[in-house]
Amino acid sequence: MTSEAQHPIQRAFADSIAAKAQFLKEHLRTLETVIDTVAARLLAGNKVLFFGNGGSAADAQHLAAEFVNRFLLERPPLPAMALTTDTSILTSVGNDYGYAEVFAKQVKALGREGDVAVALSTSGNSPNVLRAVEACRKQGIITVGLTGGDGGKLGALVDHHLCVSASKLSPRIQETHILVGHVLCEMVDCKLFGRHSERA
């Protein structure tokens, strides 16, 4: 493979690394607060709700699974759910009320005061994500927004905003979002169960 052919690959890696590094500079303290909040709410008997569209829907499902099954530690399952997985709910709400309501209706049905909602939107402007966050706020659900670029409308709506400001490209933003989610899982486990995962 020539150096010219390698260059786009190297650039993709470099851009992803740069986005993560910039995120850490800007949001370390906010991420620590989110970790503390999620751990405290789980300890109090609440749950975590995840939702987003497309790749962010996949990330929502991925992270909910890490809480319910396990991440790195052997520990009891933790209550979390992705609002992106029930096709009958998604299609019936979309058909009857419009796609903008597919997450908000579930928040109203399943969310409880003191729960934590993690809303993923690379643009920060997905109507169904915004509508769900508005429903969360009315129900006393703590909101965390994972966004990119300028954060869009979501940044101003959530209690805790974690924005990948170094990129407007969905792949680079989502690569940082999943790292943030993994760090959230690992640090919450540490706080609740008193030890870090063993590292190779």
* Cα–Cα distance for residue pair 189/164, rounded to 1 Å: 24
For the stretch 41-76, pLDDT in tens is 999 999 999 999 999 999 999 999 999 999 999 999
Please answer whether residues 184 and 62 qualify as being in contact, where contact means their C-beta atoms are separated by less than 8 angstroms.
no
Q: Which residue has the tokens 């493979």?
A: 1
Q: How many residues does the chain have?
A: 200
Which CATH code fits 3-193? 3.40.50.10490
- Using pLDDT thresholds of 50, 70 and 90, give the confidence band for residue 6: low
- Using pLDDT thresholds of 50, 70 and 90, give the confidence band for residue 4: low
Please answer whether residues 188 and 45 qualify as being in contact, where contact means their C-beta atoms are separated by less than 8 angstroms.
no
For the stretch 146-194, pLDDT in tens is 999 999 999 999 999 999 999 999 999 999 999 999 999 999 999 999 8
**Is the pTM for the entire model greater than 0.85?**
yes
Domain edges within the chain: 3-193
Least confident among 82-91, 141-150, 187-196: 187-196
Distances (CA, A) of 87 to 65, 93, 99, 102, 177: 17, 10, 12, 10, 24
φ, ψ (nearest 5 deg) of residue 75? -155, 170
Angle between helices 170-193 and 3-43 (to 10 degrees): 40
State residue 194's pLDDT score.
Answer: 86
- Using pLDDT thresholds of 50, 70 and 90, give the confidence band for residue 105: very high
Q: How many CA atoms does the CB half-sphere of 104 hold within 13 Å?
A: 18
